[in-house]
A = this chain, B = another copy of it.
Amino acid sequence: MNVLIVHAHPEPGSFTTAMKDLAVETLTGAGHRVVVSDLYAMHFDPIASAGDFESRVNADYLVYALEQRNGDASKTLAPDIQAELDKLVAADLVIFSFPIFWFSTPAILKGWIDRVLVSGRCYGGMRFYDRGGLAGKKALVALTLGGQSHMFEPDGVHGPLEEMLKHLLRGTLGYVGFDVLQPFIGWHVPYVSQETRVALLEEYRDRLLNLESEPPMDFPTLGDFDELLRPVRRVAS
């Protein structure tokens, strides 16, 4: 497999960074080709703006998705976007590696999503969910957080983490067509013992070596909706 790891952590010595390094080592060792986009190290620009397009369909009024479609088709996207898009298109598996900031990605990674998942190439019109432009690729979210798992039980104080992450797992990665694997979650990371950290890395390594047999998360199928995206009512036979 070609693997792209999109990594975002402001501290190069962090446990999340150790997880990223382990993923590189493990997947390379298993014979895969691994490319890393370390967004902090790259000083990646996260701000979607008019400057992202070297030529514009409409220079007077910015419709970002429209300019993305044009920029992709005419190869006039800003070079930093095009470079990431090339890595994304080449990848069979994309790992998103980050600490949870406000039940979502750090802004620098949100900006990668805003700018690199370009309309036209990754989605557009009726091309989303199972018909998304990245269908056939796998995505794994590998994250760390300070909270403990019991806070995310159905009766826990925050409710299920997957509900907090619905915008990312389903609304973003599922939307563009990825087969989204269950996230790998490093619970309570700032507070756990060295022993627990080592065990967590072992667990992560085992998952990385067995990703190809994992079933993806279950998201909508567009065949269950009509051309106006109204649910199709099926009569039981």
Contacts and interface: CB of A to CB of B under 8 A. Distances in A.
Contacts of A65: 146
Contacts of A61: 11, 13
A106 B102 contact: no
A107 B222 contact: no
Give the contact-size bracket for chain A. 35 or more
A69 to B, nearest CB: 13
Interface in A145-179: 146, 148, 150-151, 155-159, 163-168, 170-172, 175
Given A10-B62, A164-B166, A46 B47 contact: yes
A107 B107 contact: yes
A113 B117 contact: no
B164 A164 contact: no
A121 interface: no
B163 A47 contact: no
Contact of A111 (B46, B103, B146, B228): B46
A158 B114 CA distance: 19
Interface in A83-132: 101-108, 110-111, 113-114, 117, 129
A186 to B, nearest CB: 15
A73 interface: no
A157 B220 contact: yes
- Between A108, A117, A175, the greatest number of chain B beta carbons within 10 A of the residue's beta carbon is seen for A108
- Between A47, A155, A175, the greatest number of chain B beta carbons within 10 A of the residue's beta carbon is seen for A47
Interface in A50-65: 50, 61-65
A48 interface: yes
B156 A231 contact: yes
A107 B156 CA distance: 29
Interface string A213-237: 0000000101001001111000000
A157 to B, nearest CB: 5
Nearest to A60: B13
22 contacts: A10-B50, A10-B64, A40-B47, A46-B46, A46-B108, A48-B107, A48-B108, A102-B167, A102-B175, A103-B166, A103-B172, A104-B110, A104-B167, A104-B168, A104-B171, A105-B110, A107-B113, A150-B228, A150-B229, A157-B222, A158-B220, A163-B166
Given A46-B47, A150-B228, A157-B229, 19 more contacts: A10-B47, A10-B49, A10-B62, A10-B64, A11-B61, A47-B108, A65-B146, A101-B110, A101-B114, A102-B171, A102-B172, A104-B171, A106-B114, A107-B107, A110-B110, A158-B171, A159-B166, A164-B166, A165-B167
